[in-house]
Structure 1
């Protein structure tokens, strides 16, 4: 089972990778009961299906280019671009090229821990 950092610092190794959807995997970087930071990598063409959750999410495009849809509005974001997903907003992404997102959730996504 993965060890999840709940300290103030995490080394560059992070935690184990977890496959999610085809061509997508995630790595919890650091978390506590109030917040969680996650790296999510995508192969070109991978789809993060439309979904919603009660958490507020802020995301940074660490690498690559994505088509991001939030509540029916779609924007193309490249490295350095950011977006916020309000509570329960329908959202999803399509990787236009290989890339990675850094997602921050508050509160943490408990289902990612189990």
Structure 2
């Protein structure tokens, strides 16, 4: 890795639309970790799914109904959650909002 890869400007990140009302962009990554910004329209759903990565998420804006392994909580700006490997989880945006997700290791399928 060169020192030029250590900083990423917001303008250089490509937005993708993985689900209706949801857009995301990779903020930065190394093989061991990835940070992703995810923006939700009000009512948008991040469908329940699982993956082998550890995921930590921070609510940067809005409020979300978060379900992890069958347990549901409402989180607002400033809240966070962590998902151990392979647990089924998903979110619903109760209002327009933004999550910052961190994965370890990185999500290789996001790079395709």
TM-score (norm 2): 0.94
Shift of 1:14: 4.6
Q: Say if 1:70 and 1:85, in contact at 8 Å, map to a contact too.
A: yes
Q: Deviations over 1:17-61 (max 9, x none)?
A: 000100001000000111000000000000101000000000000
Question: Runs ≥4 in structure 1, deviation > 6 angstroms?
Answer: none
Report the alpha carbon displacement of residue 12 of structure 1 after superposing the two structures with TM.
3.2
Distance 1:24 1:7 in 2: 27
Partner of 1:63 in structure 2?
61
Which residue of structure 2 lines up, in the alignment, with residue 8 of structure 1? 6
Counterpart residue number, 1:39? 37
TM-score, normalised relative to structure 1: 0.92
What is aligned with 1:3?
none
Query: Which has more helix, going by share of residues?
Result: 2
Aligned alpha-carbon RMSD (Å): 1.1
Question: Which of 84, 87, 91 is the matching residue for 2:85?
Answer: 87
Deviates more, 1:98-107 or 1:12-21: 12-21
